[in-house]
Amino acid sequence: MNEKVYLYPVWVRLWHIFNALLFLALVFTGLTLQYTSKDFTIIPFNYSISIHNYAGIILSAFYVFFLTANRWTGNGNYYQFPIKGMMERVMKQFRYYSYGIFKKEKAPFPITKKRKFNPLQKLSYVIIMYFFVPVIIITGYILLFPDLIPNRIFGMSGIHFIDLIHIIMGFVLSIFIIIHVYFCTIGKTPLSNFKSMINGWH
Ligand code: HEM
């Protein structure tokens, strides 16, 4: 399909750019918090903590904005799908990405004004935005108030338990960013999806 469609309204683009930058700052400072030691420092530990905390709080405000705007604008509709037949659609798209695309087959779910995401994108965005992001935000806020965390959860130190979930979510989201950016390069040209996220037009 060669027709131009306006898919990314200004608010989505602004949210997305701030969200991406804040995420990158969080991944970077999260890693420095994890690996800083007496012999190895990239930025001072205290700076990493402050940047990580402020970036997390700002990101959570942007997340509330995303939820609200998705709810009140048509954009939220793109995140809904019937469960029935979902796996078949996802597998069809997966087969296309892993095989059909190299055989120059036609995309099984071309992008239109009504269908902004293919089934694989849709499923991954829903899982990321409505499960992993809220869990990392909630565990992050809990870690800001360690005194409120019970001493023991499931037989292990409460702080370590919450921290472990937070780190696992951070790890999954970091992997998501890499896969996400890679898939964004599979457009009409390697840069076309990035241009769409800048000017709004697909
Ligand atoms: C280096 C960082 C990133 C880059 C370069 C990037 C790039 C892009 C591009 C080009 C699109 C439009 C194509 C598409 O819809 O698939 C997009 C959409 C999207 N990205 Fe990212 N992204 C980044 C980080 C993130 C992060 C950290 C998240 C969330 C945790 C995220 C979530 C989304 C979502 C939900 C959409 C669809 C938005 C909508 O139209 O409703 N992105 N991204």
Helices (H) and strands (E) in the chain, counts: 7, 2
Nearest CA to ligand 1 atom 38: 12
Task: Tell me, using a 6 A CB cutoff, whether residue 125 lines ligand 1.
Answer: yes
Confidence of residue 39 (pLDDT cuts 50, 70, 90): confident
Per this entry, what is the length of the chain? 202
**Per-residue pLDDT reduced to its tens digit, 48-81:** 999 999 999 999 999 999 999 999 999 999 999 9
Task: Give pLDDT, residue 147.
Answer: 95
Give me the torsion for CA of 165, 171, 177, 179, rounded to 10°. -120
197 lines ligand 1 (CB under 6 A): yes
pLDDT of residue 103: 96
Pairing of strands 156-157, 152-153: antiparallel
C-alpha 20 – ligand 1 centre gap (Å) = 7
pLDDT reported for residue 38:
85
At 136 the three-state DSSP class reads helix
Burial of 22 (0-12, 13-18, 19+ CB in 10 A): buried
Q: Which of 59, 36, 58 is nearest to 48 (CA)?
A: 36
Q: What confidence tier does 2 reach under pLDDT thresholds 50, 70, 90?
A: low
pLDDT of residue 78: 97
CATH of 10-199, one of 2.60.120.260, 1.20.950.20, 3.40.50.300, 2.60.40.420: 1.20.950.20
Residue 108: the pLDDT is 97
Using the predicted structure, report yes or no on whether residue 1 has a pLDDT greater than 80: no
**Residue 157: predicted pLDDT:** 97
Residue minimizing CA distance to atom 15 of ligand 1: 117
Which ligand 1 atom minimizes the distance to the CA of 187? 13
Give the position, in ligand 1's atom list, of the atom nearest the Cα of 66: 41
**Is residue 184 in contact with ligand 1, taking CB distance under 6 Å?**
yes
**pLDDT digits 0-9 by tens, 145-190:** 999 999 999 999 999 999 999 999 999 999 999 999 999 999 889 9
Task: Quote the tokens at residue 176.
Answer: 């998501």
Which residue's alpha carbon is nearest to atom 28 within ligand 1?
20
Could you give the CA distance from residue 71 to residue 59 in angstroms, rounded to a whole number?
A: 18
The closest residue, in CA terms, to atom 42 on ligand 1 is: 20
pLDDT score at 176: 98
pTM of the full structure? 0.94
The neighbouring-strand residues paired with 201 are 6
What is the residue extent of each domain of the chain?
10-199
Q: What is the pLDDT of residues 103-152, one digit of tens each?
A: 999 999 999 999 999 999 999 999 999 999 999 999 999 999 999 999 99
Cα separation, 33 vs 47, whole angstroms: 10
70: Cβ below 6 Å to ligand 1?
no
User: What are 153's strand-pairing partners?
Assistant: 156
pLDDT band at 37 (very low <50, low <70, confident <90, very high): confident
Q: What does the H/E/C string look like for 137-165?
A: HHHHHHHHCHHHCCCEECCEEHHHHHHHH
Q: Whose CA is nearest to atom 5 of ligand 1?
A: 181
